[in-house]
Chain A
Amino acid sequence: MLRGLWKLTWLELKIFAREPLGLIGTVLIPPLSVVVLGRIFGRIPSAGPRLSSFVTVDLPVFAAVFTTLNAVQSLVTIVSIYRESGILKRLRATPLRPQTILSAQVLVKLILTAATLALTLVAGRNVLRITFDVHLISFAVALLFSTLSILSIGFLLASLVPTARFAQPVASLVLYPMLFLSGLFFPVDGLPAGLQVVARVVPLTYAVSLLKGIWLGEAWLAHAGDVAALVVVAIVFTGLSARFFRWE
């Protein structure tokens, strides 16, 4: 059923790597930001415990969430470009199944996310001398799982945006307010009551909560609610995008 999936995924990765700007923007910016921000905050003499915890706890989670959003935005853009230029239609006229074509795109994003995570951690350890007492495999699983779930929102956006020109702004318009409310910058509990309600329905909130928790070494069981919410998000948005998806 998934004939051609690996070949298509590998091909898409190679094609992606041939676009230097895309590669730098996606894979190199998060580790570079971590290094630069880490240096800036780490060097402030009166940093104190709050700031050093920013570098060791919040910064990696920041980088992880940005990597996820990057993947979503890039998915929306690529799918809409492929649709607009007829690539999707051309692929559809082959024995490639629709789910294969889309799965390949998701796999590419997950692989790039994993690569970005690895680079970020290596940069953090070797340049910032951060010592992680975190179960990295666990964190990687949490990140890939969150990305997969949030990517389903990207699928719906990719199904709905009329042209490639709209893809980037529409994705930003949906993703960035979500980021603002997700608890990444301000704790959800500290938000005004109305916004707290909104934050509870924003899927990214659960991704942030899961990533933060796992990074701090909390048990998966303690985040079963987050995992359940992300599974629901994935199912609902994948279902919606299957309903609204257009090939041309």
Chain B
Amino acid sequence: MSAVVSVAGIRKTYGSTVAVDNVSFDVVEGEIFGLIGPNGAGKTTTMECVEGLRRPDRGAISVLGLDPIRDVYAMQRRVGVQLQEAQFQKRIKVWEAVDLWASLYPNPADGTRLLEQLGLADKRNAWFMTLSGGQKQRLFIALALINNPEVVFLDELTTGLDPQARRAIWDLVRGIKDRGKTVFMTTHLMEEAERLCDRVAIIDHGRIIDIDTPSALVARHCPQRTVLLTTADAGAETHFRAMRAVDDVARVESRFTIRGRGEDFVTEVIRCVSDHQMHVADFRTDTPNLEDVFLKVTGHSIRD
């Protein structure tokens, strides 16, 4: 697998503020790569450096083997861009935007079909200002795909959308990947990253903290699993404490919170319950996710 986007040690400052510091990562062909972090972490600055809209103070960027500043026009033909909080002229019609975009590239995709695929066929003649947030984002996705790009950049694609529109957009992004394109996206929504991204880079205060698949990040930083169960069994606490992988057992009346680590921890709890023929009224597991990873590695919640 070759790197479609390669970022090596970039730094960008605005006055005395360091927006991005020594950021490096590779986006590999065919994957959905997510840059995740809270607002102001440096996601958009990094993305805009990659898109050629900003020049990093230091470091090197290569997109499809091209330099985003020097070869910007050659690069723009082969990439699709959706900018954060982009707008259009209020009274531009949907088809007019698609038509203009299509005229700018040598071998454009069929705009009518794109609008159909993105569920905008009946909005062809609508003014931009009359579209809903989700429809606007779908139009921006259509425009990002109009030149049959090899790699698509999506910056905070679902910010401000309601959960239903957000899910619809997620399906579209998976569809982009299924067409063999590489996707580089940013998001501050951990759920979005977890559901969409093959690999993520966690960024905070302008620095990359870790890069891996979501499950590997969880396994590395938050290996602990929690089982919550309710049992009236008199010997339960003793049995749980005797397990090998257990870290901690907390009990409130008949409700137990059992923490432990390792792949087999949950299985071990089930076996313990079964071996001692406990009667269990309630059983659920609590698996950490990227949100927990973020809290663990940065020391603060992503929502702060």
Interface residue B81 (Cβ < 8 Å from any Cβ of A): yes
Q: A14-B96, A15-B91 are in contact. Are A90 and B83 (CB under 8 A)?
A: yes
Mark out the residues of chain B between 250 and 283 whose CB falls within 8 Å of any chain A CB in the assembled complex.
none
Most A Cβ at <10 Å: residue of B53, B77, B127: B53
Chain A residues with CB below 8 A from B105, complex form:
95
The distance from the CB of A220 to the nearest CB of chain B, in whole angstroms, is 38
Chain A residues with CB below 8 A from B100, complex form:
4, 7-8, 11
Interface digits, A78-103 against B, CB 8 Å rule (1 contact, 0 not)? 00001001110110111110000000
The distance from the CB of B177 to the nearest CB of chain A, in whole angstroms, is 21
Mark out the residues of chain B between 79 and 128 whose CB falls within 8 Å of any chain A CB in the assembled complex.
81, 83, 85-89, 91-92, 96, 99-101, 103-105, 127
Cα(A95)–Cα(B127), bound, Å: 24
Interface residue B73 (Cβ < 8 Å from any Cβ of A): yes
Chain A residues with CB below 8 A from B103, complex form:
3-4, 7
Cα(A107)–Cα(B103), bound, Å: 19
- What residue of chain A has the Cβ atom nearest to residue B144's Cβ? A93
Interface residue B76 (Cβ < 8 Å from any Cβ of A): yes
Q: A4-B104, A11-B100 are in contact. Are A90 and B76 (CB under 8 A)?
A: no
Interface residue A133 (Cβ < 8 Å from any Cβ of B): no
Interface residue B156 (Cβ < 8 Å from any Cβ of A): no
Interface band, chain A: 20 to 34
Cα(A82)–Cα(B89), bound, Å: 8
Q: Are B86 and A96 in contact (CB-based, < 8 A)?
A: no
Mark out the residues of chain A between 47 and 78 whose CB falls within 8 Å of any chain B CB in the assembled complex.
none
Q: Are A15 and B92 in contact (CB-based, < 8 A)?
A: yes
Interface residue B51 (Cβ < 8 Å from any Cβ of A): yes
Chain B residues with CB below 8 A from A92, complex form:
53
Interface residue A243 (Cβ < 8 Å from any Cβ of B): no
Chain A residues with CB below 8 A from B85, complex form:
86
Cα(A112)–Cα(B94), bound, Å: 24
Mark out the residues of chain A between 1 and 41 whose CB falls within 8 Å of any chain B CB in the assembled complex.
3-4, 7-8, 11-12, 14-15, 18-19
Cα(A27)–Cα(B34), bound, Å: 50
Q: A94-B76, A95-B104, A95-B105 are in contact. Are A89 and B96 (CB under 8 A)?
A: no
- CB < 8 Å: which of B88, B91, B101 contacts A87? B88
Cα(A64)–Cα(B149), bound, Å: 48
The distance from the CB of A41 to the nearest CB of chain B, in whole angstroms, is 38
- CB < 8 Å: which of B53, B87, B92, B96 contacts A85? B87
- CB < 8 Å: which of B51, B77, B91 contacts A19? B91
Chain B residues with CB below 8 A from A19, complex form:
91
- What residue of chain A has the Cβ atom nearest to residue B101's Cβ? A94
- CB < 8 Å: which of A3, A14, A15, A18 contacts B104? A3
Q: Are A89 and B101 in contact (CB-based, < 8 A)?
A: no
- What residue of chain B has the Cβ atom nearest to residue A4's Cβ? B104
The distance from the CB of A105 to the nearest CB of chain B, in whole angstroms, is 12
Q: A4-B103, A8-B100 are in contact. Are A93 and B81 (CB under 8 A)?
A: yes
Mark out the residues of chain A between 177 and 227 whose CB falls within 8 Å of any chain B CB in the assembled complex.
none
Chain B residues with CB below 8 A from A85, complex form:
87
Chain B residues with CB below 8 A from A89, complex form:
53, 83, 86
Most B Cβ at <10 Å: residue of A82, A93, A95, A96: A93
Cα(A92)–Cα(B127), bound, Å: 22
- What residue of chain A has the Cβ atom nearest to residue B106's Cβ? A95
Q: Are B104 and A87 in contact (CB-based, < 8 A)?
A: no
Chain A residues with CB below 8 A from B101, complex form:
94
Chain B residues with CB below 8 A from A4, complex form:
100, 103-104
Q: Are A86 and B91 in contact (CB-based, < 8 A)?
A: no
- What residue of chain A has the Cβ atom nearest to residue B105's Cβ? A95
- What residue of chain A has the Cβ atom nearest to residue B80's Cβ? A93
Q: A11-B96, A18-B91, A95-B73 are in contact. Are A90 and B104 (CB under 8 A)?
A: no
The distance from the CB of A10 to the nearest CB of chain B, in whole angstroms, is 9
- CB < 8 Å: which of B53, B77, B88, B92 contacts A95? B77
Q: Are A87 and B87 in contact (CB-based, < 8 A)?
A: yes
Most B Cβ at <10 Å: residue of A4, A86, A89, A94: A94
Cα(A93)–Cα(B91), bound, Å: 21
Chain A residues with CB below 8 A from B51, complex form:
93
Q: Are B83 and A86 in contact (CB-based, < 8 A)?
A: yes
- What residue of chain A has the Cβ atom nearest to residue B79's Cβ? A93
- What residue of chain B has the Cβ atom nearest to residue A16's Cβ? B91
List 6 tightest A-B contacts by C-beta distance, closest first: A85-B87, A18-B91, A90-B86, A93-B81, A86-B87, A15-B91
Beyond contacts A90-B86, A95-B105: 19 other A-B pairs, Cβ-Cβ < 8 A, are: A3-B104, A7-B100, A8-B100, A11-B92, A11-B96, A18-B127, A82-B89, A87-B87, A87-B88, A87-B89, A89-B53, A90-B83, A90-B88, A92-B53, A93-B53, A93-B76, A94-B81, A95-B77, A95-B104
- List 20 A–B pairs whose Cβ atoms lie within 8 Å, in order of A's numbering: A3-B104, A4-B103, A11-B96, A15-B91, A18-B91, A19-B91, A87-B86, A87-B88, A89-B53, A90-B83, A90-B86, A93-B51, A93-B81, A94-B81, A94-B101, A95-B73, A95-B77, A95-B104, A95-B105, A96-B104
